[in-house]
Chains A and B, each alone.
Chain A
Amino acid sequence: MESKFKEAVSGKSERCNDTDCEKVADLLNAVVDGEVTAEEQEFFNAHIEDCISCFESHDKQKLLKGLVSGHLKRIIVPESLALSIKAKIQETV
């Protein structure tokens, strides 16, 4: 797994130009958050098809988001909380 990864990172495509890579890097968060326009998404998709380095960056950004959304434990709400909120509201005029 590790060696495959290193190979992937070092293999920057010749068709890749740095200006486009910068644009893609700027779009990374918006892409994983679904906050890009259709044109931006299209440009992004086309670029990562050719550029392995940006492809990997995208993968890592998805992984990072997934670590929070998929692994962070939710805290159980104490049962008394809803009751005490209701009680306080009923007292309020």
Chain B
Amino acid sequence: MSKEEKDARFEAELLPVLDPLYNFAYRLTLDEDDANDLVQETYLKAYRFFDYFEQGTNAKAWLFRILKNSFINEFRKKSKQPAKVDYSEVEGYYNTDDVEGESGVATTSDMRTQSVQDLIGDEVAGALNALPVDFRTVIILCDLEGFTYEEMAKILDIPIGTVRSRLHRARNSLKEKLEKYAKSMGYNS
């Protein structure tokens, strides 16, 4: 295969994964420049090992695995510590008086407006970013990218049983962080 053919095949098979891959990198590093570097590094590695990639197999899972390994082996050490999102700042939105009590119905209808949708997104992002990276990772892979437990086990190099237990603990943590928000929406536990 000529270099031109290899490059064309590489781009056709692997570049469509750029969007989810960049999002994954961002959720790991919490920094756009770091995500940029991590994704570039991942594609360069993938290019070097492209001969080992079986055409037609799961390109997305393959790239996610490479990116995860790069993140753990090299990137985590050299990258600057990501700024922790101050969760209490976001919480403040829901602790105002008008979310409480009688106005419950109004709150529900407000939920349909775009600005409140954005607030929910910010709230979820804040809670997620506050989780340890291992917990964040399984939630992103499962809920955002829709990988199966088996694919997650391969991407993370852990047994499926560990995927299950890690996801269990991760969701419990996330639930805890979102509890205040959930209460303000009427989902009391």
Interface residues of A (CB under 8 A from B): 1-2, 5-6, 9, 29-30, 33, 35, 60-61, 63-65, 67-69, 71-75, 77-78, 81-82, 84-86, 88-90, 92-93
Contact = CB atoms under 8 A, between A and B. Distances in A.
A74 B142 CA distance: 15
Nearest to B20: A74
Given A77-B22, A85-B40, 9 more contacts: A1-B104, A5-B186, A60-B187, A67-B124, A75-B26, A77-B19, A81-B18, A82-B18, A84-B40
Given A72-B125, A73-B125, A81-B39, A64 B18 contact: no
Interface residues of B, number: 48
Nearest to A25: B168
B175 A64 contact: yes
Contacts, number: 101
Interface of B: 3, 7, 10-11, 15, 18-19, 22-23, 26, 32, 35-36, 39-40, 43-44, 47-48, 104, 108, 117-118, 120-121, 124-125, 128, 139-140, 142-144, 146, 148-149, 164, 167-168, 171, 174-175, 178, 182, 186-189
